[in-house]
Structure 1
Amino acid sequence: MKHPLPARPEHIGVLRLSALGDVCNLVPTVRALQRQWPEARITWIIGKGEHSLLAGLSGVEFVVYDKASGIAGMRALWRELADTRFDVLLHMQQALRASVLSLGLKADVRVGYDKARAKDAQHWFTHRQLAPHPRAHVVDSFLDFARLLGVEEASPQWDLAIPEAAFEEAAGLTGDAPYMLMSPCANPRLRNFRNWSAEGYAAVVEHGWVQHGLTTVLTGGGSTPEREMGSRIQSLSQPGAVIDAIGASSLKGLLALIARARVVVAPDSGPVHMANALDTPVVGLFATTNPERAGPYRWRDFVVNRYPDAVTTYLHKDPETLSWGQRVRHPDAMSLIRADDVIRNLEALLAAASTRKETEPSDEA
């Protein structure tokens, strides 16, 4: 017998700890739940860094779990929520650590992914599973949780919170001149291989500078590889064309930088999805992951997509028969992207964004 779902949930738990791009992609699900049940209480259990990005999201209570704290941190979180019982817990993290964390949470019914989409045996930790949705984008996979609960209107909306102090931080880094934001490095996880070349980025910097008068603002964390990449791009670029802000901003400051940018250029990483959430035009660079599944949702038409080529070149398989979401873990995959590809899509995106801006209704009335 299936566990019944609440017809009108009063307290909804959301369990999604990471990563930065994924929590951005989850926000439309929260917004859909809020539209359906505006009086419902929503508690989101989230990672520490991810919380610093989304803090202030309207109508959401956050409970923060520092992933570095391990079992001790889990026990502390269980104690914090000992008197809390959710009508429904949306288990939206396909990882064993999150499933173990879920065991200490009280919920009438736990919802997780269907068996085809579940990883790390997540379906063993849930009462109800999503209906199958083959070849779904990550945003749509998250929205499937709202649909299962009975949400009638699930069009993606974001509305992220950016405080005024973050915009002041961004302006202090960039000044008032128009700019292109470039986040050249993805998360340095084992065998990630999502980074493009400094030479390729420098060619795009040159094009933006010469053809559009755009300074390029480089962003990223403060790790040594990221700083080295930034220095290399700057050394290959004309004087004044680059502002190296790598390691110089907070996550809220990064959101503000993205919100103020004319356009963003980045590989499959958090800033691609932050730009999408803020509706800032973005050229995503994809070869090791499938942009149809994980590209910037509203700007997928402008992705430089060399994933099919990488699949055939390095996996020797047909992209159409490959399991959905499989990655190409080869260090040379991103070399399939050419500077001309990126510049071509950048031009198309800038033209499309300009046309869209001209046709948007004026705020003046």
Structure 2
Amino acid sequence: MKHPLPAQPRHIGVLRLSALGDVCNLVPTIRALQRQWPEARITWIVGKAEHSLLAGLSGVEFVVYDKSTGLAGMRALWRELADTRFDVLLHMQQALRASALSLGLKADVRVGYDKARAKDAQHWFTHRRLAPHPNAHVLESFLDFARLMGVEDLSLEWNLAIPSAARDEARALTGDSRYLLMSPCANPRLRNFRNWSAEGYAAVVQHAWEQHGLCTVLTGGGSTQEREMGERIQALCPPEAVIDAIGGTSLKGLLALIDAAQAVIAPDSGPVHMANALNTPTVGLFATTNPDRAAPYRWRDFVVNRYPEAVRSYLHKEPEEIPWGQRVRHPDAMSLIRADDVIERLEAALQHAIDHPPAKDA
């Protein structure tokens, strides 16, 4: 027997802890739920870093779970929500940790992914599953939860909150400069292999400076890998063409920098999805991940896509022969991207923004 979905939900729980790009892609689903049921209460259980990015999202109550606290943190969250019962819990994280966390939450019906998309046996922890949606983009997979709930208006809306202090933080770095924002490194995880070369980035910096008078703001976290990448890029560029903000901003400050940028260039990582959410022209660099699944959604036409070549070169198969979303975990895959590819897509994105000025959501 199917667990019935509420026709008029009073309290919707959303369980999605990470990551930065994914939570940005989830926000349009939140907005769709709000349009359908403006009186419904929405509680989003989210990771600590992700909350610092999303804080202030209108109409949403956040419950923050710090993943580093493990079981003790889970128990604390369960105690915090002991008197809360959701009409529906949207279990939108395909990870065993999130499924374990869901066990201590009270909900009349739990919705998760269909078997084809449910990783780590997530379908064992839910009552209702999404309809199959082969080869879906991540953002569309999130919208499938709203579709199952019966939401009709699935138009894209973000309206992320950028406080005035974050805009002041950004202006302190850039002054009145017109700039390109470049986040050279993805999350420095084991066998991630999403980073392009310092030489390639430097060629793009040089082009933006010489052809458009745009300096480039380098952003990222404070890891050794990111700082070293920034130093290599700067060493290859005129000093006046680069502003080094690596490790120097809050997430809200980064959001403000992205909002004021002429364009953003980055590999598959949080900043391309933050830029997409703000409708800032975005050039994503993709070779190890499939952009049809994970590109910045509104700027998919401006991706540099070397994923098919990477699949053929390093997996020795055709893209249609491998599972949807499979990554190419090879350290040389991103070297398939050429500086001319990125410059051409940057020019196209900048021209598109002139011809069709993007409406800013925040």
TM beyond 0.5: yes
Task: State how far apart, in whole Å, the 2-side matches of 1:312 and 1:116 are.
Answer: 24
* Displacement after TM superposition at 1:337 (Å): 0.3
Q: What is the 5 A alignment of 1:25-174?
A: 25-174=25-174
Give me the CA root mean square deviation: 1.0
- TM-score, with structure 1 as normaliser: 0.98
Amino acid at match of 2:27: V
Query: What secondary structure does 2:156 align onto?
Result: coil
Identity of matched residues, %: 82
Partner of 2:208: 208
Deviations 1:193-213 (CA, angstroms, capped at 9, x unpaired): 000000000000000000000
* Displacement after TM superposition at 1:321 (Å): 2.4
Amino acid at match of 1:292: D
Amino acid at match of 1:136: A
Task: State how far apart, in whole Å, the 2-side matches of 1:272 and 1:110 are.
Answer: 31
Query: What secondary structure does 1:357 align onto?
Result: coil
Task: State how far apart, in whole Å, the 2-side matches of 1:193 and 1:230 are.
Answer: 17
Task: State how far apart, in whole Å, the 2-side matches of 1:187 and 1:246 are.
Answer: 13
* Displacement after TM superposition at 1:283 (Å): 0.3
* Displacement after TM superposition at 1:156 (Å): 1.6
Determine whether 1:219 maps to 2:219.
yes
Task: State how far apart, in whole Å, the 1-side matches of 2:109 and 2:191 are.
Answer: 36
Query: Unmatched 5+ residue regions in structure 1?
Result: 361-365
Q: What is the 5 A alignment of 1:198-347?
A: 198-347=198-347
Query: What secondary structure does 1:191 align onto?
Result: coil
Task: State how far apart, in whole Å, the 1-side matches of 2:226 and 2:206 are.
Answer: 20
Task: State how far apart, in whole Å, the 2-side matches of 1:29 and 1:190 are.
Answer: 31
Q: What is the 5 A alignment of 1:171-186?
A: 171-186=171-186
Deviations 1:288-336 (CA, angstroms, capped at 9, x unpaired): 0000100000000000000000000000011122211110000100000
Query: What secondary structure does 1:216 align onto?
Result: strand
Query: What secondary structure does 2:320 align onto?
Result: coil
Amino acid at match of 2:105: L
Task: State how far apart, in whole Å, the 2-side matches of 1:11 and 1:45 are.
Answer: 13
The number of residue pairs the alignment matches comes to 360
Amino acid at match of 1:155: S
Amino acid at match of 1:176: D
Task: State how far apart, in whole Å, the 2-side matches of 1:11 and 1:357 are.
Answer: 38
Task: State how far apart, in whole Å, the 2-side matches of 1:311 and 1:17 are.
Answer: 30
Query: What secondary structure does 2:321 align onto?
Result: coil
Deviations 1:211-232 (CA, angstroms, capped at 9, x unpaired): 0000000000001110000011
Deviations 1:257-279 (CA, angstroms, capped at 9, x unpaired): 00000000000000000000000
Task: State how far apart, in whole Å, the 2-side matches of 1:190 and 1:97 are.
Answer: 19
Q: What is the 5 A alignment of 1:345-364?
A: 345-357=345-357
Query: Unmatched 5+ residue regions in structure 2?
Result: none
Deviations 1:171-190 (CA, angstroms, capped at 9, x unpaired): 00111110000000000111
Q: Which runs of 4+ in 1 moved over 4 A?
A: none
* Displacement after TM superposition at 1:47 (Å): 0.1
Task: State how far apart, in whole Å, the 2-side matches of 1:188 and 1:94 are.
Answer: 21
* Displacement after TM superposition at 1:239 (Å): 2.0
Deviations 1:53-72 (CA, angstroms, capped at 9, x unpaired): 00000000000000000000
